[in-house]
Amino acid sequence: MKKYPLSLQVFYEKLRKINIPARVVFFVMGILSTLWFLIRVIPKPQRATYPCIRATFPFMSGLVVYLLSLGTSFFAFRKFREKIFRLQPLLAVFFLLLSLTASVYFLFSSSKKSYAAVTGPSDPPNTPIGTAQGIMPGRVVWAWNPDATNENCTDSGRTNGALYDPDLDDYYFNVKNNNQAVIDSMMAESIKTLTGKATEEEAWNAIFTCFNQKKKGSATGYGNGEIVFIKINAGSQWKNQWSGKIDANLNRRMTQPDIVETTPFSVMALLKSLINKGGVPQDKIYIGDPMKNVYQDIYEYWKAEFPNINVLGNDLIITVNDLITLGRVKVAAGNSKVIYSDGTQEDFLYDVFDYADYIINVAALKGHYCAGITLCAKNHFGSQTRNNAGHLHYSLIAPDNNVNPPNESNITNGGYGKYRVFVDIMGHPKLGGNTMLFIVDGLYSGMDGYFAPSRRWRMYPFNNDYPSSLFMSLDQVALESVCFDFLRTEYDGTDDTYGCPNYPGVDDYLHQAADKANWPAGISYKPDGVNEIGSLGVHEHWNNHLEKKYSRNLDPVNGKGIELVGVAKAVKALSEVPVKENTDGIESLFPNPCQGTFSVRYTLAEPAQVSIEIYTLAGVRVEQLVNQHQPQGTHTVTATIREPAGIYLCRMKINRGAHTAESTGKIQIIK
């Protein structure tokens, strides 16, 4: 189910590729969208509910508003001149201000809102792609507990370059803003839930055994002397410039320290479980982001509990004091290479990828101005040995969008079926192929990897609090698909957010990682230069952002896609759809989306005359479900709507004589 008529979508992308100015593209698409709407809807008005028709609305309305602003500007300026000549100064000032306002809108408005019509995923909900991986195939665990973080954290402080002082700087990485005991519990319960085991010891053995069976063909657990590398995201500390600056002893300087990265607290929880329950010796664990350095305050936090772990350090890109003296393990260029499958270039990896027997990838939960999202796959941009990853941006959605705020005119590589470097990364035997556990640290989240600080989340169930979440899976495609659904819902371009996760084709790499049928023509993904990759996991979108159900949640017996399982307070969040505060009205519409048959659950605080009707978005009534006097309480009515696929409105009217009320919900019908 495409979100826009395919021929117009293709034409749109071609215009942007050849660098036609965004305003011209907007004007052309507005005219074409209007023509498309008139040709399709006038002969058959019910087509106005079709998804491909609804997608034209923003372009049409944007064009109309745009032209109205231009017309208003000319009209108001003419009136201004007229009132000046007639010596009517107050009216003259009014029309001058009106003209200036309309002119400013005309000159500086963009196609941003209209462009949203062709953004977002191309595949409909609950349509799995690929082959699910893991002990419980396709299982993704989401742990959420608002007590994990301090809701009063301001994520602010000094930005004058002074050394970090937790008493003066109130940032998300402060110990006081994180409850380590709660995070420990979230991690432990997640690991058990992921594997279906009763204890952490059993769970870790199952994870090692599952991975070794897949990698070596031998169902063995952790072996003596084997090395585990925990790959974190520490992107801000790059070349000692930009946001994350350090002194020569790797102490954090306060320049732009609010950029979200893997927190020390999620890693500490992982270390406690892996060492104390998983049986991995401290000295066989290596932690870091090889292109960067770990801040000294984080290093000391980990080392206080586990003094024998190995923390990586990099003095190849920046100058610091002796890394050995600072307690770091120096990285060097390794022997393993990534050969990018479009044939344009290749990269060496750092040596830790040569000697690591297992990788645990702990990424951060963020949007990204160039890639749309940044999760476990993009976390490996810091694993190759060049001094930055700019040479890999050409395969992203918006390669040149490394500006703040993001500019949608830079979306020059959007859409589907294009070469994506993330697929090579996910399939490489030393990167995604050597990763036994994928984790996304969602205790905090930001809209971008470098420019955007942590934000409180609006979507259910977070209620304007930090996301306070951990996500994990043995299926890397499934994990990124779930996190993508969260990110595209939260960062949707409204309420002062940038809608980068909703750029067209953000999940193209997930389609391709799941199934080679989605590979671009002429591309065969062989990241080691020899072996073509198979399905790396399963991709799917949830049914809706309230219920968050995937195909294995909806059908545990026959489902072939993702299963999202909750831990801590996420259990309740996944089992209960939020009820409106008003006790009169619709509580839920389910299943949603549906294939025509659905139920409406609603509540009456007192007896009332009730009418429930289904309307198209154009206001045409298609069905009446209820029209009678009903008693107080909760009621459910089931109906079958034999109408085209699309979004419909369910309107409930409550009449108690002098008191009337309305309640409206949306239901999506898919065919």
pLDDT band at 112 (very low <50, low <70, confident <90, very high): very low
Contact in structure between 77 and 99 (CB atoms under 8 Å): yes
Contact 477, 513 (CB under 8 A): yes
Which pLDDT tens digit goes with each residue over 47-82? 554 445 544 555 566 666 666 666 676 666 676 667
Q: Give the residue-averaged pLDDT of 112-136.
A: 74
Collapsed DSSP state (helix, strand, coil) of residue 179: coil
Condensed to tens digits (0 to 9), the pLDDT of residues 331-367 reads 999 999 999 999 999 999 999 999 999 999 999 999 9
**Mean per-residue pLDDT for 640-648?**
85
For 223-237, what is the mean pLDDT? 92
In sequence order, the β-bridge partners of residue 360 are 230, 437
pLDDT single digits (tens) 434-459: 999 999 999 999 998 777 788 999 99
> CA dihedral in degrees (22, 27, 29, 32; nearest 10)?
-160
For residue 113, the model assigns a pLDDT of 38
Amino acid identity of 321?
A: N
Most confident of 350-354, 495-499, 662-666: 350-354
Tokens 């219920």 -> residue: 547
Helices (H), 491-569: 508-514, 551-554
What gap in Å lies between CA 405 and CA 35, rounded to an integer?
A: 33
Report pLDDT for 118: 39
Q: What is the pLDDT of residues 572-607, one digit of tens each?
A: 888 876 644 446 888 778 787 788 888 888 888 889
Domain regions of the chain by residue span:
6-108, 129-219+227-572, 580-669
**Which of these, 16, 317, 300, lies nearest to 166 by C-alpha position?**
300
Give the pLDDT confidence score for residue 111 in this predicted structure: 40
Structure tokens at 123: 């595949």
C-alpha 513/C-alpha 499 separation (Å) is 24
Cβ–Cβ contacts within 10 Å for residue 96, how many?
A: 17
Averaged over 501-510, what is the pLDDT?
94
Half-sphere exposure of residue 62: CA atoms within 13 angstroms, side-chain side: 24
What H or E segment, with its residue span, contains residue 573?
Answer: helix 570-575
More confident of the two residues 631 and 473:
473
Residue range 554-562: mean pLDDT, rounded: 95
- Predicted confidence (pLDDT) per residue in 312-324, tens digit: 999 998 888 899 9
Q: Pick the residue with more confidence: 398 or 161?
A: 398
**Confidence at residue 595, expressed as pLDDT on a 0 to 100 scale:** 82
pLDDT at residue 250 greater than cutoff 70: yes
Q: Closest Cα to residue 259, out of 244, 271, 281?
A: 244
- Bridge partners (DSSP) of residue 232 are 362
The pLDDT value recorded for residue 34 is 75
Q: Which three-class secondary structure state does DSSP give residue 628?
A: strand
Best mean pLDDT range from 5-9, 67-71, 252-256: 252-256
- What gap in Å lies between CA 330 and CA 323, rounded to an integer? 7
Angstrom distance (rounded) from CA 549 to CA 472? 17
Enter the DSSP assignment of 132: -
pLDDT of 210 strictly over 80: yes
The per-residue pLDDT for range 132-185, each reduced to its tens digit, is: 999 999 999 999 999 999 999 998 888 888 999 999 999 999 999 999 999 999
Pairing of strands 358-368, 228-232: parallel
Tokens read off for 292: 């960067």
Residue 24 confidence class, pLDDT cut points 50, 70, 90: low
pLDDT of residue 130: 98
- Looking at per-residue pLDDT, the higher value among 395 and 238 belongs to 395
Q: Give the whole-angstrom CA distance, residue 434 versus residue 211.
A: 9
Any idea which fold 580-669 has? Answer: Immunoglobulin-like (2.60.40)
How far CA 187 is from CA of 76, 151, 454, 470, in Å, comes to 62, 20, 21, 7
- Print the SS3 string covering 219-269: CCCCCCCCCEEEEECCCCCECCECCCEECCCCCEECCCCCECCCCHHHHHH
Report whether pLDDT(116) > 80: no
Q: What pLDDT shows up at residue 2?
A: 37
In whole angstroms, give the CA distance from residue 360 to residue 205: 15
User: What would the two tokens of residue 350 be?
Assistant: 């750092």
Q: Give yes or no for residue 119 having a pLDDT over 60.
A: no
Mean pLDDT score of the chain: 86
Q: How confident is the model at residue 44 (pLDDT cuts 50, 70, 90)?
A: low
